[in-house]
Amino acid sequence: MSTETAAPELDDEDRKLLTLAKGAMGRAEAKTGAAVRDTDGRTYAAGPVSLAALDLSALQVAVAMAVSSGAPGFEAAVLVGTAEDAGDPGLAALTEVSADAYAVMVAV
């Protein structure tokens, strides 16, 4: 799995993930957003969840949404946030399901 900060070159499919992640971040009025693409080509986007009883990063939520929807595996993830978000705990969940999935971090 690879991660990048700054402005990476993205192909069309990863640019779609970036757009979805930014949209989720905006809707949640959050500092981060994430989107994943499963091996069937379906996409899932999310913002973080921060409740007294539950605290999940945007990437953890996106991975959980995909897994709960029956995603067979992952191809890619895009995480939008700051450089401090590069160690997102959702990366472990992503690679647990698909060791060869890649993640791109886009700092805003």
Half-sphere exposure of 8 (CA within 13 A, CB side): 19
Structure-token pair, residue 15: 């640019």
pTM over 0.85: yes
Kind of pairing between the strands at 102-107 and 74-81: parallel
Given a cut of 50, whether residue 105 has pLDDT beyond it is: yes
Taking the C-alpha atoms of residue 85 and residue 9, their distance in angstroms, rounded to an integer, is 19
> Do the beta carbons of residue 39 and residue 59 sit within 8 Å?
no
Express each pLDDT in 70-100 by its tens digit. 999 999 999 999 877 778 899 999 999 999 9
**pLDDT averaged over every residue in the chain:** 91
Other Cβ atoms closer than 10 A to 108: 11
Degrees (nearest 5) of the Cα angle 39, 40, 44?
85
**pLDDT given for residue 8 in this prediction:** 58
**C-alpha–C-alpha distance, residues 100 and 73, integer Å:** 10
pLDDT, tens digit (0-9, with 9 covering 90-100), for 3-42: 444 445 899 999 999 999 999 999 999 999 999 999 999 9
